[in-house]
Chains A and B, each alone.
Chain A
């Protein structure tokens, strides 16, 4: 991301000076407009894609729909902006979109330097390597001198260089722009190794004609906590985004699903469930929403686990196990603060 930091920072500075006076609040803007503008990826298996009717679908897309449901009461009131790795931050900083949900890694410099607020981690990922079995490599430590297909403008580019430097190995990068391009180059033997987030590797491998001829090496060389983000300077809006995500996670912990949410709201004895679904207390009002915002969101897209299984889980072609993304009670890292 190094190249993009200066222009984005400049842009953010412009935005900060010109917007500071004008920004009444993103929430009011969204409500006045009647639609949420959400930036997603231009296409990443499981995370954002279009179906045959031209509707956006996916794990990242579901989050946008949940926020729209919570804020506007209508999960379909979203205007999706497909963004690339290069345009995503400027689109958010310039105010062209209200929220960015595009498998974006939470890093220090993006948080502090680019002036964004990350709303939590929707998916714990890590960078891995895929090679052809015929290469006879079983560990990333044997990759000295390899040609590596690597997506530009991403954290994976920097991780790769860090890892090879730390291991005292050399490599030849082959820069690619999109996942599609990377896969094509890898299959055409233009590079020996394809590296990107492990979820992306699994998704790509699932589509190969002979998936068994390719292995994903055991080394995971980076932490890639992916999550949605908003601009600095509007804490209320950030709280809304953060708690919609948390509500989806709490709903999974408590066993609330899209199907039983109404029933749970009416009959549950669990005080946290009642607070979450707006059956008791004035919780939603504190962030400027209706008290049943979480109920509406969960009814629209389901809880965290439902969304995961629908787009990424083992029943899909992406075929990812929950792993780190299981809720904390089941040995994963997904742990939402209490709703009280």
Chain B
């Protein structure tokens, strides 16, 4: 066959035509995602209506008509008709952050907070050089933070009654979170252990804690312990609360991790045995890395729940951010202001809880190495 028989030979690809109009770009996205069916159209319009009817009012209230420079609610009301009175936040924000901590010593909790992130780096970033050594350094963080916040050994001591606000939330939340995970892992392993004593102790502990409301445990920490301890032994109230919250969270953590352990196919355990690994080796190298990966959403869920549960301490009279609302409102200059304070507190909590949930999503994506 000679080449001349062909009238036309394409020597290169034809240029691609653009996708039909209306299926790409902004319009395409809107069509695809917002108006793809009558139901979606309806929901879109409904959402637009809700946004339209709430957001402008909210923005006006929070930003446009709001008042920052006022020293009492009456001054605020004189300055604005329907705006937020952030004057109370301007005047009291340091109390909501630090409680009644002496203001000249604020650098100590701030330094402790900064060190928390330094200590977290080796724990959260697995590509870090010399990670093992750095992790050992992180282990000393609780002691350093304790020293910075409460003082002693050369620093001016600060009593627990002066702790409050977000500082108190962080103390209870961070210690609860960091201690409940290892305790939870130990409890979960104990509960799935073959040793009857270990197993039954773990079951009794977990079921007891899960059967009792957190508030009850807090009341025990606040009141009953005082009756049982000999007089003169003054066990710090914040420490008591931290212990109770940690125990409470550990029980839940143990069940979350046990779920992860149970989700692993039996073959994984048998494979570990077949390789000749001992119990601890198989747990460390094969079982736990997989079980913990599965449990991440549940673990972070427990963390966030724990962080928010710390507000319950207001019931035993500790001055966490919510607890500080009452004495602030009782000040006659601010008596009657409510929404602004709660909005400010909600904003603080949102920052921390949102950060935790974003980190957990990142971790899940990174560890998504299974065959699915």
Contact = CB atoms under 8 A, between A and B. Distances in A.
Contact of B331 (A50, A81, A95, A208): A50
A207 B330 contact: no
B325 interface: yes
Contacts of B331: 45, 49-51, 57
Contact of A209 (B77, B224, B315): B77
Interface of B: 73, 77, 91-92, 95, 99-100, 159, 161, 219, 222-224, 226-228, 230-232, 314-317, 319, 323-333, 335-336, 338
A48 B327 contact: yes
B326 A178 contact: yes
Given A11-B227, A184-B338, A209-B77, A82 B99 contact: no
Interface stretch (A15-23, A125-133, A162-170, A240-248): A15-23
Given A91-B317, A317-B332, 18 more contacts: A14-B227, A22-B231, A41-B330, A43-B327, A43-B330, A45-B330, A50-B95, A50-B100, A50-B331, A51-B331, A52-B92, A56-B327, A82-B317, A82-B319, A87-B315, A96-B226, A179-B326, A203-B332
B323 A42 contact: yes
Contacts of B326: 42-43, 82, 178-180
A87 B335 contact: no
A32 to B, nearest CB: 10
Chain A interface extent, by class: 35 or more
B164 to A, nearest CB: 8
13 contacts: A18-B231, A23-B231, A42-B326, A42-B327, A43-B328, A49-B328, A49-B330, A54-B95, A79-B161, A84-B315, A84-B317, A87-B316, A179-B326
A206 interface: yes
Given A48-B330, A50-B95, A58-B330, A11 B223 contact: yes
A196 interface: no
Top-8 shortest CB links A-B: A43-B326, A207-B336, A49-B330, A94-B226, A43-B330, A43-B327, A317-B332, A90-B223
A104 B227 CA distance: 23
Interface in A100-121: none
Interface string A293-306: 00000000000000
Contacts of B319: 82
A49 B330 CA distance: 5
Nearest to B223: A90
Contacts of B327: 42-43, 48-50, 56, 82
Given A11-B227, A79-B161, A82-B319, A208 B336 contact: yes
Contacts of A184: 338
A19 B328 contact: no
A317 B333 CA distance: 8
Interface of A: 11, 14-15, 18-19, 22-23, 41-52, 54, 56-58, 79-84, 86-87, 90-91, 94-96, 178-180, 183-184, 203, 206-209, 316-318
Nearest to A12: B227
A44 B224 CA distance: 26
A87 B224 contact: no
A94 B317 contact: no
Contacts of B223: 11, 87, 90-91, 94, 96
Q: Which of A56, A83, A317 has the most CB of B within 10 A?
A: A317
A180 B329 contact: yes
Nearest to A91: B223
A44 to B, nearest CB: 5
B218 to A, nearest CB: 10
B73 A207 contact: yes
A82 B332 contact: no
A180 B226 CA distance: 30
A2 to B, nearest CB: 17
Contacts of A41: 330
A159 B77 CA distance: 37
A11 B219 CA distance: 12
Nearest to A208: B336
Contacts of A91: 222-223, 317
Given A11-B224, A42-B323, A86 B328 contact: no
B328 A50 contact: yes
Contacts of B99: 54
A47 B178 CA distance: 40
B222 A15 contact: no
Contacts of A23: 231
A79 B159 CA distance: 9
A317 B77 CA distance: 15
Given A47-B330, A52-B92, A91-B223, A203 B335 contact: yes
B335 A15 contact: no
A178 B77 CA distance: 25
Contacts of B222: 87, 90-91
Contacts of A95: 226, 231
A208 B74 CA distance: 11
Given A48-B330, A80-B161, A15 B227 contact: yes
B315 A86 contact: yes
Contact of B335 (A45, A50, A58): A45
A90 B218 CA distance: 13
Nearest to B341: A180
Contacts of B231: 18-19, 22-23, 95
A207 B323 CA distance: 20
B91 A52 contact: yes
B226 A54 contact: no
Contact of A316 (B328, B332, B338): B332
B101 to A, nearest CB: 8
B349 to A, nearest CB: 19
B230 A18 contact: yes
Given A23-B231, A94-B223, A206 B317 contact: no
A82 B317 CA distance: 5
A95 B225 CA distance: 11
B332 A42 contact: no
Contacts of A57: 331
B165 to A, nearest CB: 10
A41 B329 CA distance: 12
A81 B161 contact: yes
Nearest to B339: A184
Contacts of B329: 43, 45, 49, 180
B232 to A, nearest CB: 7
